[in-house]
């Protein structure tokens, strides 16, 4: 019976260490076209993984083959933001978030990453009545 308990704990150990990470898109699905061509995107990162080294977190927004580094928002530790360029001739763009980070592992920290699903940002023209 004791051997069975040890075996069961060994099977559960990776699950307990891995935790669960979630990336939440906080960007509206559409924004009004602006003169700068730069549009804000924001994401929240949540994880129960105790071994993550938060000082190593490097979040990016990926648009096709281009990537844009994000910065932590001033009021929240788990929220990140940046501006992405959208050309005037485009009415929408697809993007995703990628979070690169290190986690504690013996004998030394190891790299890992988490990627969000793809999202679409639609750019709408301002109404003439506004």
Domain residues for the domain of 54 are 22-124
Residue with tokens 């308990």: 5
> Has residue 84 been placed in a domain?
yes
> Has residue 11 been placed in a domain?
no
pTM exceeding 0.85? no
> Has residue 74 been placed in a domain?
yes
Direct distance between the N- and C-terminal alpha carbons of the chain, in angstroms, rounded to an integer: 74
User: Using the 8-state DSSP alphabet, how is residue 108 labeled?
Assistant: S
> Has residue 12 been placed in a domain?
no
**pLDDT on residue 2:** 56
Spatial distance between the Cα atoms of 127 and 4, rounded to a whole number of angstroms: 68
> Has residue 7 been placed in a domain?
no
> Has residue 72 been placed in a domain?
yes
Q: Which residues pair with 39 in a beta bridge?
A: 84
Q: How many domains does the chain have?
A: 1
> Has residue 116 been placed in a domain?
yes
> Has residue 2 been placed in a domain?
no
pLDDT tens string 4-61: 444 444 444 444 444 588 999 999 999 999 999 999 999 999 999 999 999 999 999 9
CATH number at residue 63: 2.60.40.10
pLDDT tens string 87-113: 999 999 999 999 999 999 999 999 999
């Amino acid at each position: 019976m004791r051997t069975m308990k040890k075996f069961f704990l060994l099977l559960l150990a990776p699950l307990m260490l891995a935790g669960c990470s979630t990336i939440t898109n906080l960007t509206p699905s559409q924004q009004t076209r602006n003169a700068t061509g730069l549009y804000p995107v924001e994401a929240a990162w949540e994880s129960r993984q105790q071994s993550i080294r938060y000082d190593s977190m490097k979040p990016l927004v990926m648009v096709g083959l281009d990537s844009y580094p994000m910065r932590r928002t001033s009021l929240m530790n788990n929220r990140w933001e940046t501006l992405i360029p959208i050309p005037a001739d485009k009415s929408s763009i697809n993007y995703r978030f990628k979070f690169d980070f290190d986690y504690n592992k013996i004998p030394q920290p190891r790299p890992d990453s988490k990627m969000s699903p793809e999202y679409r940002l639609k750019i709408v023209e301002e109404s003439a009545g506004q």
